[in-house]
């Protein structure tokens, strides 16, 4: 069934955006910085893929789940959206762990003041 893989990636990307928006992790806090970081990560990994394709390390496998649109030899459309999702996921997870670390630091400082 063509398009299932792309649909799953887009579904996951939309879900990540909703989580990000609800908890104000990245896009809502700094939209331009987040967009530039996602774009930069996507371009980096796309270049990585192109080098891998050129050297024969990466090849496109056959699957009925792909839509069939090729951006370059061995580079399906789904790969671009996967790299976009991967970059965005990394930024959102960084924001989650940064917020968690800040909360722990604040709790430790509060406990230290309370013990004094």
Instruction: For residue 74, give the DSSP letter.
Output: T
- Dump pLDDT digits (tens) for 9-57: 999 999 999 999 999 999 999 999 999 999 999 999 999 999 999 999 9
115 has a pLDDT exceeding 80: no
109 has a pLDDT exceeding 90: no
3-state secondary structure of 76: strand
The Cα–Cα gap between 37 and 39 comes to: 5
Residue 73 CA, distance from chain mean position: 24
Token duo for residue 69: 């649109």
Closest CA to 85 of 2, 1, 6: 6
pTM for the structure as a whole: 0.87
Cβ neighbors of 29 (< 8 A, separation 6 or more) are: 95
């Amino acid at each position: 069934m063509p398009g299932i893989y792309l649909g799953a990636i887009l579904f996951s990307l939309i879900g990540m955006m909703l989580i990000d928006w609800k908890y104000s992790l990245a896009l809502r806090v700094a939209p331009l910085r987040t967009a530039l970081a996602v774009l930069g990560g996507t371009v980096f990994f796309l270049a990585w893929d192109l080098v891998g394709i050129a050297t024969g390390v990466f090849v496109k496998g056959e699957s009925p789940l792909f839509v069939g649109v090729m951006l370059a030899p061995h580079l399906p459309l789904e790969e671009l959206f996967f790299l976009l999702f991967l970059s965005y996921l990394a930024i959102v997870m960084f924001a989650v762990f940064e917020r968690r670390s800040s909360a722990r630091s604040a709790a430790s400082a509060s406990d230290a003041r309370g013990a004094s």
